[in-house]
Protein backbone atom coordinates (compact mmCIF):
# COMPACT_ATOMS: atom_id res chain seq x y z
CA UNK A 1 0.00 0.00 0.00
CA UNK A 2 2.72 2.42 0.92
CA UNK A 3 4.65 1.56 -2.17
CA UNK A 4 2.10 3.10 -4.42
CA UNK A 5 2.68 6.45 -2.80
CA UNK A 6 6.39 6.91 -2.96
CA UNK A 7 9.10 7.68 -5.45
CA UNK A 8 11.42 4.90 -4.48
CA UNK A 9 9.25 1.86 -3.95
CA UNK A 10 12.25 -0.42 -3.94
CA UNK A 11 13.34 1.23 -0.74
CA UNK A 12 10.14 0.63 1.12
CA UNK A 13 10.10 -2.10 3.65
CA UNK A 14 7.54 -3.04 6.18
CA UNK A 15 8.31 -5.21 9.13
CA UNK A 16 5.88 -6.65 11.57
CA UNK A 17 6.53 -6.98 15.22
CA UNK A 18 3.83 -9.05 16.73
CA UNK A 19 2.97 -8.71 20.37
CA UNK A 20 0.34 -10.46 22.36
CA UNK A 21 -2.39 -8.00 21.72
CA UNK A 22 -0.94 -5.79 19.12
CA UNK A 23 1.06 -5.73 15.97
CA UNK A 24 3.57 -3.03 15.30
CA UNK A 25 4.24 -2.27 11.69
CA UNK A 26 7.44 -0.49 11.03
CA UNK A 27 7.40 1.19 7.70
CA UNK A 28 10.76 2.27 6.37
CA UNK A 29 10.99 4.56 3.43
CA UNK A 30 13.69 6.48 1.63
CA UNK A 31 14.46 9.82 3.24
CA UNK A 32 13.18 11.65 0.19
CA UNK A 33 9.85 9.97 0.50
CA UNK A 34 9.19 10.76 4.11
CA UNK A 35 7.15 13.76 3.16
CA UNK A 36 5.10 11.73 0.73
CA UNK A 37 4.16 9.20 3.31
CA UNK A 38 3.42 11.65 6.05
CA UNK A 39 1.67 14.18 3.91
CA UNK A 40 0.49 17.66 4.66
CA UNK A 41 -0.10 17.93 8.38
CA UNK A 42 0.29 14.21 8.65
CA UNK A 43 -2.84 13.61 6.66
CA UNK A 44 -1.54 10.68 4.72
CA UNK A 45 0.14 9.12 7.72
CA UNK A 46 -3.08 9.46 9.62
CA UNK A 47 -5.01 7.88 6.79
CA UNK A 48 -2.61 4.98 6.66
CA UNK A 49 -2.88 4.44 10.39
CA UNK A 50 -6.63 4.55 10.35
CA UNK A 51 -6.86 2.07 7.53
CA UNK A 52 -4.38 -0.31 9.06
CA UNK A 53 -6.29 -0.13 12.31
CA UNK A 54 -9.46 -0.97 10.50
CA UNK A 55 -7.78 -3.87 8.79
CA UNK A 56 -6.88 -5.31 12.14
CA UNK A 57 -10.36 -5.19 13.55
CA UNK A 58 -10.92 -8.61 12.08
CA UNK A 59 -7.79 -10.09 13.52
CA UNK A 60 -8.77 -8.74 16.91
CA UNK A 61 -5.43 -7.09 17.44
CA UNK A 62 -4.43 -3.50 17.78
CA UNK A 63 -2.14 -2.11 15.20
CA UNK A 64 0.47 0.56 15.53
CA UNK A 65 2.17 2.02 12.53
CA UNK A 66 5.53 3.64 12.88
CA UNK A 67 7.14 5.43 10.05
CA UNK A 68 10.91 5.45 9.98
CA UNK A 69 13.44 6.83 7.64
Instruction: Confirm or reject binding of residue 48 to another protein (CB under 8 A).
Output: yes
Exactly one of 15, 19, 50, 61 binds another protein (CB under 8 A); which one?
50
Q: At 58, give phi and psi (nearest 5°).
A: -65, -40
Residue 27 in contact with residue 65, Cβ under 8 Å? yes
Spatial separation of the C-alpha atoms in residues 20 and 17, rounded to whole Å: 10
Residue 16 in contact with residue 23, Cβ under 8 Å? yes
Q: Whole-number minimum distance, CB 63 to another protein, in Å?
A: 11
Instruction: Confirm or reject binding of residue 54 to another protein (CB under 8 A).
Output: yes
Site residues, another protein (CB under 8 A) = 1, 4-5, 7-8, 32, 36, 39, 43-44, 46-51, 53-55, 57-59
Amino acid sequence: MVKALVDNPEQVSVSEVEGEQSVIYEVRVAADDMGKVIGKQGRIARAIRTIVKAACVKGGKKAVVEILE
